[in-house]
Chain A
């Protein structure tokens, strides 16, 4: 019996929007958590796909091929928010430098949340407060934090998709959680 010949996939750009726009949009939104940005990245993906359609070899399905283009767009987006402009956003320090390096800065130590705390976490509005606090983070912290904690994507997958090291990821998660804890404390638990 002879080997079946491999399937050669073809591109059909006129059907892209009907067939893949929802799928690509969802894939993007899960990572960037912003409607406008997701829409733009999907559009750019389709345009890039058109431009490089002649390089399509037919080895992967159309959808897989489009996703690989989209993944590069997402890395570009991450690098953009990680650039100088992104880093100018406020990052709060919680620890001393110099002699007492790594110790808590006195006025930033965690405060006790009191006895009613279990009741407070049942509140539905708290879900909204979490969003408000995450939105206050520097953009790249918010993106990595959401991917890891809210979308529960594997560490290895995030590192690969954003082209960062795992130690880099954990520094970001640590700083994000420090800032979120403080924000929720100020606006919810001790309010």
Chain B
């Protein structure tokens, strides 16, 4: 049981990343908190990770706003049309 609670820094940061998306299990989150008690580095990683998530969230909002304007240029479509007509005979 106690052995299962013990995790490496690699595992800890991995759980930490997963929990940024709300997808870490309850047991994993317990293991993570126990790891933080003895590891200041991973605790700092976790704090920075929350900040990064905030950043990425902003980025996601800005990116989605531009979604509707994603398209090929008129010229690109015309080139495609010509190529396509060659095939469609």
Interface footprint category on A: 35 or more
Measured in the bound complex, the distance between the Cα atoms of B56 and A150 in whole Å is 7
Instruction: Give the distance in Å from the alpha carbon of A14 to the alpha carbon of B85 in the complex.
Output: 8
Any B CB within 8 A of the CB of A56 = no
- Listed by A's residue number, 13 A-B pairs whose Cβ atoms lie within 8 Å are A22-B72, A26-B71, A29-B70, A30-B70, A46-B80, A110-B44, A112-B44, A127-B62, A170-B14, A173-B17, A174-B18, A177-B49, A184-B52
Partner of A109, one of B14, B17, B41, B63: B41
Interface residues of B in 24-75 (CB under 8 A from A): 41, 44-45, 48-49, 51-52, 54-56, 58-60, 62-64, 67, 70-72
Taken together as a complex, chains A and B put the C-alpha atoms of A121 and B67 apart, in Å, by: 24
On chain B, the number of residues with a Cβ less than 8 Å from chain A's Cβ atoms is: 39
B48 touches A181 (CB 8 A): yes
Instruction: Say whether A152 faces chain B, with CB atoms less than 8 Å apart.
Output: yes
- Kindly state the separation between the CA atoms of A113 and B45 in the bound complex, as whole angstroms: 11
A151 interface residue (CB < 8 Å to B): yes
User: Does A139 count as interface, using CB distance less than 8 angstroms?
Assistant: no
Whether the pair A47, B84 counts as a contact (CB closer than 8 A) is yes
| Chain B residues near A178 (CB-CB < 8 A) | 13, 17
Judged by DSSP, the binding face of A is helix
Given A29-B70, A102-B9, A149-B56, A181:B49 Cβ within 8 A = yes
Contacts of B60 in A (CB 8 A): 149-152
Classify the interface of chain B: helix, strand, loop or mixed.
Answer: helix
Q: How far is the CA of A13 from the CA of B42 in the complex (A)?
A: 56
Q: Which residues of B contact A143 (CB under 8 A)?
A: none
Q: Is the CB of B72 within 8 A of A39?
A: yes
Q: B23 to chain A: which residues have CB within 8 Å?
A: 155
Given A21-B71, A113-B48, A171-B14; 4 other pairs, CB 8 A cutoff:
A21-B72, A173-B18, A173-B21, A174-B17
Residues in A neighbouring B83, C-beta threshold 8 A? 43
**A12, chain B: closest CB distance, angstroms:** 11
Q: Which residues of B contact A14 (CB under 8 A)?
A: 88
* A101 closest partner in B (C-beta): B8
